[in-house]
Amino acid sequence: MPSPAVKPPRPAPKTDRTLSFVDAVREAAELEMARDPNVIVFGLDVDDPKAIQGTTRGLPERFGPERCFGTPLSEDAMTGAAIGMALAGLRPVHVHIRMDFLLLAMNQLLNVAAKSRYMYGGRVNVPLVVRAMIGKSWGQGAQHSQGLHGMFMHVPGIKVVAPATPYDAKGCLAAAVRDDNPVLYVEHRLLHFTKGPVPEAAYTVEPGKARVTRRGADVTLVGISSMQVECLRAAAYLADVGIEAEVIDPIWLSPLDMDTICESVERTGRLIVVDTAWTNCGAAAEITAQVAERLQGIRDLRLKRMGFAPTTCPTAPNLEDLFYPNARTVAAAARDLVEDVKTGWLPAERADLKSIEFKGPF
């Protein structure tokens, strides 16, 4: 195990070009399909007028219905078929507009895709990408809101990535498509219409590298997927009271860059992992446990996990607000951790740090 050397944060991408997350995903898919004729994109509704929030817009027209097609409502069989295509050398991207629908395909994903290379003694690969979207707010409710990435992190043989910016959305999708292993590509619907710098040319954001998105010495905030945005906002609230938070985006959850996280926590001594999922047995639990294992006896630690309330997601807006962590609750928890007391502080909402609004109907 290499010692956790101090790594500088990777430089921010240099480009004047701004793109939405949706367009970054669409551009990555288009570039990869143009680069490699084996790349195909399919899933329920990928060729309908809404084109999966726009992420597949134009792909059927440019590449034809054989390389981009809508499927029957058959997640199990289509996942199995995707595996068969991958075994034959295609590089399928199977799109699910809801992550919850992956539960219909778990046998194929975890018993076959994740295990084929190992159980067949290295004789086959399954270069499959599964795009899955986590919903939030406007009453998405019990079965359209789940963050199930932790279940996939649990199982060896499938990689998991959860980009939080348009830059990473494009680079991670390209990396996932070029990877010879199955990759679960997690998208959060509230991130879809965020904008950020995205270079025009193709590039990859490689597995297993986290990014330090803000430097600070007092507390480490690890924000997963949409919670990365909330953590950066929380850092702004904390700065108002003189606390400097370091914020890390793991980007890839499997493989997970624990060196970068541990290096930070070794300096700050305090860690909050904020996930867009339940905390039990999830990504936050795993990251926290690995930090404790590596730094116990080396550094006095204060650790905390934040995520969904341990209940099913409600639809009533007031209950929904309580269900999710947000920038202000993260900031409050971080201040308590830093000052080691229950301060009772909750920052007043700043207009410039409001959470992303989502208008329905769906």
Partner 1 sequence: MLARLYRSLYRIRRVEEEVARAYPTDKIKSPVHLSIGQEAVSVGVCAALRPTDVVFGTYRGHALYLAKGGDLNAMVAELYGKATGCARGKGGSMHLVDTAAGVMGTSAVVGTTIANAAGYAYALKTRRSDAVVVSFFGDGASEEGVFAETLNFASLKSLPVLFVCENNGYAIHTSQAKRQGRPDIAARAEAYGIPAERLDGNDVVGLLERTRTVLSGMRALGGPHFFEVKTYRLREHVGPGRDFALGYRAEAEAEPWVTNDPVQKLAARLPAGERVAIEQEVEAEVAAAFAFAEASPFPAAGELMTDIYQEAGDALACR
What CA–CA distance (Å, rounded) separates 131 from 112?
Answer: 17
Q: Where is 285: in which H helix or E strand?
A: helix 283-295
What CA–CA distance (Å, rounded) separates 135 from 220?
Answer: 26
Which residue out of 27, 30, 32, 75 is catalytically annotated? 75
Do 182 and 126 contact (CB within 8 A), yes or no?
yes
Which of 148, 299, 154 is closest to 220 using CA atoms?
299
Q: Among 1-9, 77-85, 190-198, 310-318, which window interacts with partner 1 (CB under 8 A)?
A: 77-85
Least spacing, CB of residue 195 vs partner 1, in Å: 33
Do 129 and 183 contact (CB within 8 A), yes or no?
yes
Task: Report the Cα 258 to chain-centroid distance in Å.
Answer: 16
- Judged by CB under 8 A, the chain residues 179 through 218 that form the site for partner 1 are 179-181
**Contact flag: residue 66 with partner 1 (CB under 8 A):** yes
What single-letter DSSP state applies at residue 341? S
Binding partner 1 by CB under 8 A: which of 55, 71, 140, 226? 71
CB atoms within 10 A of CB 15: 14
- Residue linked to tokens 């480490």: 220
Which residue out of 144, 149, 188, 192 is catalytically annotated? 144
Handedness of CA 245, 9, 199, 43 (dihedral sign): negative
Question: Is 246 one of the annotated active-site residues of the chain?
Answer: no
Half-sphere CA count of 14, side-chain side, radius 13 A: 1
- Residue linked to tokens 């778990």: 106
What CA–CA distance (Å, rounded) separates 81 from 102?
Answer: 15
What CA–CA distance (Å, rounded) separates 70 from 353?
Answer: 38
Least spacing, CB of residue 70 vs partner 1, in Å: 11
Residue 11 has φ and ψ, to the nearest 5°, of -60, 145
**Contact flag: residue 157 with partner 1 (CB under 8 A):** yes
**Total residues contacting partner 1 (rule CB under 8 A)?**
42
Binding partner 1 by CB under 8 A: which of 4, 9, 54, 80? 80
Binding partner 1 by CB under 8 A: which of 156, 242, 297, 360? 156
- Judged by CB under 8 A, the chain residues 167 through 186 that form the site for partner 1 are 179-181
Least spacing, CB of residue 186 vs partner 1, in Å: 18
Binding mask 10-49 for partner 1 (x = CB under 8 A): ------------------------------x---------
Q: Among 76-84, 267-275, 280-288, 352-360, which window interacts with partner 1 (CB under 8 A)?
A: 76-84
CB atoms within 10 A of CB 88: 8
Least spacing, CB of residue 206 vs partner 1, in Å: 10
**Contact flag: residue 361 with partner 1 (CB under 8 A):** no
Query: Amino acid letter at 115?
Result: K
Binding partner 1 by CB under 8 A: which of 19, 31, 83, 210? 83
- Judged by CB under 8 A, the chain residues 108 through 147 that form the site for partner 1 are 108, 111-112, 116-125
Least spacing, CB of residue 19 vs partner 1, in Å: 28
Least spacing, CB of residue 105 vs partner 1, in Å: 10
Question: Is 66 one of the annotated active-site residues of the chain?
Answer: no
Contacts with partner 1 by CB under 8 A lie at 40, 66-67, 71-72, 74, 76-90, 92, 107-108, 111-112, 116-125, 156-157, 159, 179-181
Q: Which residues are catalytic?
A: 75, 144
